[in-house]
Amino acid sequence: MSIKAVSDATPGVVPYPAAAVAEYRAAGVWRNRSLPDELTSRFADFGDRPAVVTPETRWTYAELGARVDAFASGVLRATALEPGDRVMFQLGNVAETVVCYLGALRAGLVPVCTLAQHGPREIELLARHVGARGLFTQGDFGGGRLLPVAVDLLERGVVAVTVVVRGDEGGGTVGYRGIIAAGDEPPTTPDVDLASVAVFQLSGGTTGLPKVAPRLHEEYTYNSRAWASALGWSESTVVLYPLPLLHNAGIALALQPALLSGATLVLAPNADIDVLLDLIETERPTTLPLVPPAVAIRMLDHPRTRSTDLTSIRQYVVGGQKLAGDVARRLLDEVHLPLRQMFGMAEGMFLVTDEDASEQVVLDTVGRPISPLDEVRVVDPISGEDAPVGDLGELWMRGPYTIRGYFRAPHHNTTAFSTDGYYRTGDLGRVHRIDGIDYFSVDGRIKDVINRGVEKIHAEEVEELILEHPDVDNAAVVAMPDRVLGERACAVLVMHPGKPPLTVESLAAHLAGQGLAKYKFPERVEIRTALPLSNVGKVSRKTLREDVSRIVETEPGA
């Protein structure tokens, strides 16, 4: 693939400083190659090895490569999209998603990853924010609920091209099958500017409205290569992945590292435990690179788990949310799974416990960074200095695959990043120095995010929409504890005088009307006459969180 000279940063992207780029290239972790080049250039080497398995499909690398090439040439012929265009992806875990993602990259398009669970509101805001020209959608997802959103955005001119995977085209959209059929010549290779964005990912981890993480070619490739290498993946590795593939985790710790190592990716349609156990029995996966604690708990509770042969699994990596100590213990003692803990984020950094880690490390920490060039600080929020070993502080992260700024967010970037380029995660953690090595734990959060079984809900985003209800005077959305999901959202509301209190149902109807994704709807409503204030006069979420936790924990069945 031909590479244009690295230009100045793409507008809206905070570039890595020149000295850091030089260091990463000198260390060989950035390799002067584009993401599509790295991902597809080795397809020929792996030829007839199995690449992607779904309940309906089993493709070798050669078969996948042929489809990716056809899609890459077909999408530029059958649609008005051009290399460099940004394209929204709203697709579930089907084999075509892999073809669309790789084919788009190969054609020089820039994927904008969203969740199939997102509502029309998120999709439109994101499309406008990144300036997307296209939208790929899945016609048969969730009973066909994505298609009308895609057609509406097309009709209103928010995007110029809508491609429909699986399902009826119409309304000016273009079908996946037609694109593959149009791709009867090898794709031409577009020029790639290595300073341009390879993929846009949605951040789950910052205060306020969701922000967009611009992932660049060399760093995003390195992110996945470093993960594959930390886990020792090879052609004999079989990866089982049950979470949304188009989230950063699906791309950066499952699909891309699998392809870079010649491994097999078994894509589960969802995280239903029966589906997972069936796939474990039939496909004999060697690794589950991301199991949310909620899925681990459901697996422990499921009657079939103990009679299923789990012995093919050599890595059972739990992360995305705090893993409770008792659940970690049960995974080791009751089902004898080779537990590893990980921490990951769309902004970049991954941490994981080592294969031969002691029980203390596996139970108490999320491990250590996967690259020797990664830097993690635990910063005392008051002094701004590094906290002593064992003390709580905010986790700050910087390195060769951690972004230096959100896309088109200059104001927010001044607080979300330090002047010397560390991302301030908003997570609280500590260093555990064990046998002279520093491991990290995550022990809390200072950002207003609710982690609902690894799906992130930004309190402010939901509050703003609630406040548009004419009867609501004030609102705060806070986390309430949940045994399986970890947290759920609770709305604490102050109604205007004389107005009837909102219920979970009436609030949901209001939020649905605004196009918000359903998983963000508060699952409990508390009515107050006023919201408690902190000593600086802001709503005290801490007090509310504690109040709500107390109420929930004393209820029957808690």
Residues near ligand AMP (CB under 6 A):
203-205, 248-249, 319-322, 341, 343-346, 366, 425, 427, 442, 445, 451, 456
| Cβ closest to ligand AMP, residue 34 vs residue 451 | 451
CB 391 within 8 A of CB 378: yes
- Of 346, 489, 319, 320, nearest to 416 by C-alpha is 346
CB 436 within 8 A of CB 254: no
| Cβ closest to ligand AMP, residue 67 vs residue 456 | 456
- Of 168, 230, 206, nearest to 403 by C-alpha is 206
| Cβ closest to ligand AMP, residue 192 vs residue 296 | 296
| Cβ closest to ligand AMP, residue 460 vs residue 471 | 460
CB 186 within 8 A of CB 71: no
Q: Smallest gap, in angstroms, from Cβ of residue 44 to ligand AMP?
A: 33
Which segments of 16-145 does DSSP mark as H helices, in order?
A: 18-26, 35-40, 43-46, 61-78, 95-106, 120-130
| Cβ closest to ligand AMP, residue 278 vs residue 364 | 364
Q: Smallest gap, in angstroms, from Cβ of residue 451 to ligand AMP?
A: 6
- Of 110, 71, 79, nearest to 173 by C-alpha is 79
CB 268 within 8 A of CB 281: no
> Which residues make Cβ contacts (< 8 Å) with residue 48, sequence separation at least 6?
60, 61, 62
The CB-nearest residue to ligand AMP is 204
Instruction: Annotate 286-299 with DSSP letters as a single string.
Output: SEEEEE-HHHHHHH
| Cβ closest to ligand AMP, residue 70 vs residue 294 | 294
The CA-based dihedral angle spanning residues 502, 503, 508, 511, taken in that order and rounded to the nearest 10 degrees: 10
**Is residue 396 within a helix (H) or strand (E), and if so which, with residue range?**
strand 393-398
From residue 112, alpha-carbon distances to 88, 213, 264, 454 in Å are 5, 10, 24, 20
Q: Smallest gap, in angstroms, from Cβ of residue 43 to ligand AMP?
A: 28
| Cβ closest to ligand AMP, residue 277 vs residue 342 | 342
Beta carbons within 10 angstroms of residue 218's beta carbon: 25
| Cβ closest to ligand AMP, residue 305 vs residue 321 | 321
Q: Smallest gap, in angstroms, from Cβ of residue 213 to ligand AMP?
A: 8
What is the C-alpha to C-alpha distance for residues 306 and 300, in angstroms, rounded to an integer? 8
- Of 483, 487, 466, nearest to 475 by C-alpha is 466
| Cβ closest to ligand AMP, residue 61 vs residue 406 | 406
| Cβ closest to ligand AMP, residue 149 vs residue 243 | 243
Q: Smallest gap, in angstroms, from Cβ of residue 555 to ligand AMP?
A: 25
Q: Smallest gap, in angstroms, from Cβ of residue 395 to ligand AMP?
A: 8
Query: Measured in Å, how far apart are the chain's first and last C-alpha atoms?
Result: 57
What is the C-alpha to C-alpha distance for residues 102 and 33, in angstroms, rounded to an integer? 16
DSSP strand pairing (315-319 vs 339-344)? parallel
Q: Smallest gap, in angstroms, from Cβ of residue 329 to ligand AMP?
A: 16
| Cβ closest to ligand AMP, residue 119 vs residue 205 | 205
Q: Smallest gap, in angstroms, from Cβ of residue 210 to ligand AMP?
A: 9
Q: Smallest gap, in angstroms, from Cβ of residue 435 to ligand AMP?
A: 21
Q: Smallest gap, in angstroms, from Cβ of residue 384 to ligand AMP?
A: 20
Q: Smallest gap, in angstroms, from Cβ of residue 399 to ligand AMP?
A: 15
Q: Which residues pair with 506 in a beta bridge?
A: none
